[in-house]
Chain A
């Protein structure tokens, strides 16, 4: 397992066990204390008292550490949700809501780190490098929740369009994240309200409703017009 290269996923880093945790903690500490990445892996390893080799067996670079931390946020969240018995009984809407709440809770525990990371985030339409491992897990979770919604009729099936729903939710997550960043209410309750309202809106839009009827009607007019 030690040979797993550069650890693209959490499983890889978990293999290096305690050292990886130590590196992560030390890195976050350095980042938050100094406001920037350490000068070099060499210096970082000396300060931490480990060999450079040990560092590279866990992570390829400092950016890889950041990516790994972000991925751990979401995998922890998903695991926690799936281990909850009640979760299986939830509707699609409730699954996504509880996912957001749990994820925000996780981010809240690491708010300084998260703020440090997204503070420099300028273009929400582009996925920053540290979210590269986070995004697939996110989209997978959303797809499975939406799939469940489709099978029970909560979400209407719209050919072609419904394939991009996960991407739309990804952008929605970007919105939530930036909203949360600037939220100064006690306990971030405004973010809670924003999540609640925006997810409700999203589900009203992707559920059966006016949109489908409008489309159906337009199609009918187009087809019957000679």
Chain B
């Protein structure tokens, strides 16, 4: 059947365009390095921070034009904070995955494919325009009788593009973020799996129902009700939660309280109760359910008008493997370090150290780890923690992450920088602190 119709025969336009986008970015980054080194010639004090800032800006600009999975990867890299220099993290934290919007006719078509009816036949009203961007799709608001619904619709073909997009990010990520290929493959394999799961709304529905059911007794949390009869592979219907997304909420609160140090007692109270709710939520998942809501993106948390924490989007759930959980939290046992053999074995098991690492690294690592623990536990000056953290950054990804968490945690205790969207991660790790204290 396939004949030689060259003109129309599957021109992979998008892929070529996308790839050329990366080339352009690469060129820009190159000029940034040139700029950096020429500045250094004149002024030897020029730091790499500026360079990283420039790079982050350019990479972000091109990734956000690409949208799709590439941006999602950037976002995930930024979530795993210490994989990236600070400048990249901040830029990418802004990244909101946003697919190009689906046109209304396509929304109608999707409904017709799955329900045999248009949205207007199923609901009393259905917004023509999307109200929010969601992972891999968009959210429309609908009403039926006196109930409001959030209806999430997925962009067609998104599931297939995940793999090819990720393959294109690889070279840029390897060179620009200075990652080691083995580490990257492990990381990206995980990302791919999670993203593919995220495109399956049937699975998401099942998980959402299960997890929200199990977590319903935690104070201060609100979960939407899900409607399987109005959901399908590409459509997910749930209650509409009134309120502001966490990101907006925090920005507004910060603006109103003019400076972060002048937080009023009432808003401090709100912050505390929200933080508590989130902490409880993540602990409960980590330690009881052994599965966590793995997309702690500020848009996925809604602050309701009565200051409850609404949690949406269970598209991305990480099930914590039992043996990892066991080994990982063993690290928190202060007695562990009395037995260096045991420590070493544990580090191998957790892939903190690989058998082919140099002897120096092998030795350096457990030492730094112990030091980091000691310092973090005895909350000494932030600067020392940071210095140490920087030391640790150079070793291995996982330990980098932990040190950073401790640093963040201790800065919270000092009342600074507590209003960041990465609260959930901190909470996971803060949980283990009390037990670790001698």
| A, B bound | yes
**Is the Cβ of A192 less than 8 Å from the Cβ of B157?**
yes
Q: Is the CB of B105 within 8 A of A101?
A: yes
Establish whether residues A185 and B5, one from each chain, have CB atoms under 8 Å apart when the complex forms.
Answer: no
A22 to B118, CA, bound (A): 33
Smallest CB gap from B155: residue in A: A193
| Interface residues contributed by chain A, number (CB under 8 Å) | 33
Q: CB-CB < 8 A to A124: which residues of B?
A: 5, 7-8
CA distance A193 to B159 in the complex (A): 12
Closest Cβ of chain B to A14, distance in Å, is 27
Interface pick from A23-31, A115-123, A133-141, A154-162: A115-123
Beyond A98-B108, A115-B1, whether A93 also contacts B157 by CB under 8 A is no
The reply to whether A97 and B105 contact each other, CB–CB distance below 8 Å, is yes
Residues from chain B with a CB closer than 8 A to the CB of A174 are 8
With CB as the reference atom, state the residue of chain A lying closest to B10: A182
Chain A 48-106 residues near chain B, CB threshold 8 A:
86, 90, 93-94, 97-98, 101, 105
Known: A122-B5, A178-B8. A94 touches B103 (CB 8 A): yes
Report the minimum CB–CB distance from A204 to chain B (whole Å).
11
Known: A178-B8, A182-B9, A200-B100. A193 touches B156 (CB 8 A): yes
A189 touches B156 (CB 8 A): yes
User: CB-CB < 8 A to A200: which residues of B?
Assistant: 100, 103
Closest to B14 in A: A197
Is the CB of B290 closer than 8 A to any CB of chain A? no
**Can you list, as one digit per residue, whether each of B1-34 has a CB less than 8 Å from chain A (1) or not (0)?**
1111101111000100000000000000000000
B107 vs chain A, min Cβ distance (A)? 10
Q: Is there a chain A Cβ closer than 8 Å to B172's Cβ?
A: no
Contact of A97 among B100, B106, B160 (CB under 8 A): B106
With A98-B108, A119-B3, A124-B8 in contact, do A86 and B120 touch (Cβ < 8 Å)? yes
A-chain residues with CB within 8 Å of residue B7 when the two chains form the complex = 124-125
Contact indicator B3/A98 (Cβ below 8 Å): no
CB distance from B241 to the nearest CB of A (A): 28
Of A101, A121, A178, the contact of B106 (CB 8 Å cutoff): A101
Contact partners of B8 in chain A: CB under 8 A: 124, 174-175, 178-179
Q: Does A212 contact B (CB under 8 A)?
A: no
B102 interface contact, C-beta 8 A: yes
Chain A positions within 8 Å of B5 at CB level:
121-124, 178
Distance, CA A86 to CA B14, complexed state (A):
33
Instruction: Return A205 CB to nearest CB of chain B, in Å.
Output: 15
Q: Which residues 165-196 in A have Cβ within 8 Å of B in the complex?
A: 174-175, 178-179, 181-182, 185, 187, 189-190, 192-193, 195-196
Total cross-chain contacts (CB, 8 A) = 73
Known: A93-B103, A119-B1. A192 touches B109 (CB 8 A): yes
Residues of A within 8 A of B109 (CB): 98, 101, 105, 192
Contacts of A101 in B (CB 8 A): 105-106, 108-109
Complex contacts, A179 vs chain B, CB 8 Å: 8, 10
How many chain B residues have a CB neighbour from A under 8 Å?
A: 26
Query: Does chain A have a CB within 8 A of B104?
Result: yes
Q: How far is the CA of A94 from the CA of B107 in the complex (A)?
A: 11
Q: How far is the CA of A211 from the CA of B108 in the complex (A)?
A: 32
A120 to B1, CA, bound (A): 7
Complex Cα–Cα for A101 and B118 (A):
13
Q: Is the CB of A193 within 8 A of B1?
A: no
How far apart are the CA atoms of A93 and B160 in the complex, in Å?
26
- The residues of A that contact B14 with a CB separation of less than 8 Å are 197
B157 and A193 within 8 A (CB): yes
Per the bound structure, the CA–CA distance linking A115 and B160 in Å amounts to: 24
Contacts A178-B8, A179-B10 given; indicate if A190 touches B102 (C-beta within 8 A).
Answer: no
What residues of A have a CB within 8 angstroms of the CB of B108 in the complex? 98, 101
- B113 CB–A CB distance under 8 Å: yes
Q: How far is the CA of A93 from the CA of B106 in the complex (A)?
A: 12
Is B3 a contact partner of A94 (Cβ separation < 8 A)?
no
Q: How distant is B264 from chain A, measured CB to nearest CB, in Å?
A: 47
Are A196 and B10 CB-contacts (below 8 A) given A119-B1, A122-B3, A190-B157?
no
Check if B3 sits within 8 Å of A121, measured CB to CB. yes
- Cα A123 to Cα B9 in complex, Å, equals 12
Min CB–CB distance B62 → chain A (angstroms):
19
Task: A94 to B109: give the CA distance in the assembly, Å.
Answer: 12
Rounded to whole angstroms, the CA-CA distance of A195 and B120 in the bound complex is 23
Using A115-B1, A124-B8, A174-B8 as known contacts, say yes or no to A94 and B160 having CB atoms under 8 A apart.
no
Query: Across the interface, which residues of A come within 8 angstroms of B102, CB to CB?
Result: 196
Cross-chain contact A185 with B157 (CB below 8 angstroms): yes
0 or 1 for each of A205-225: is its CB under 8 Å from B? (1 = yes): 000000000000000000000
Question: Is A190's CB under 8 angstroms from B156's CB?
Answer: yes
Contacting residues, chain A, for B113 (C-beta < 8 A):
187
Q: How far is the CA of A192 from the CA of B1 in the complex (A)?
A: 22
Contacts of B120 in A (CB 8 A): 86
Docked complex Cα distance between A1 and B14 (Å)? 52
Q: In the complex, what's the smallest C-beta–C-beta distance from A142 to chain B, in angstroms?
A: 15
Q: Which of these, B100, B106, B118, contacts A192 with CB under 8 Å?
A: B106
CB–CB B105/A98 < 8 A: yes
> CA separation between A196 and B106, bound complex, in Å?
8
9 closest A-B pairs by beta carbon, nearest first, are A189-B156, A98-B105, A178-B8, A97-B105, A192-B156, A193-B157, A119-B1, A101-B109, A190-B157
**What are 13 of the A-B contact pairs (CB < 8 Å)?**
A86-B120, A90-B105, A94-B103, A94-B104, A97-B104, A123-B5, A181-B1, A189-B156, A189-B157, A193-B155, A195-B106, A196-B100, A196-B103
- Beyond A125-B7, A179-B10, A189-B156, 8 additional pairs, beta carbon < 8 A: A90-B104, A97-B104, A101-B109, A105-B109, A119-B1, A122-B5, A193-B156, A199-B103
Residues in B lying within 8 Å of A, measured CB to CB: 1-5, 7-10, 14, 100, 102-106, 108-109, 112-113, 118, 120, 155-157, 160
Interface residues of A (CB under 8 A from B): 86, 90, 93-94, 97-98, 101, 105, 115, 119-125, 174-175, 178-179, 181-182, 185, 187, 189-190, 192-193, 195-197, 199-200
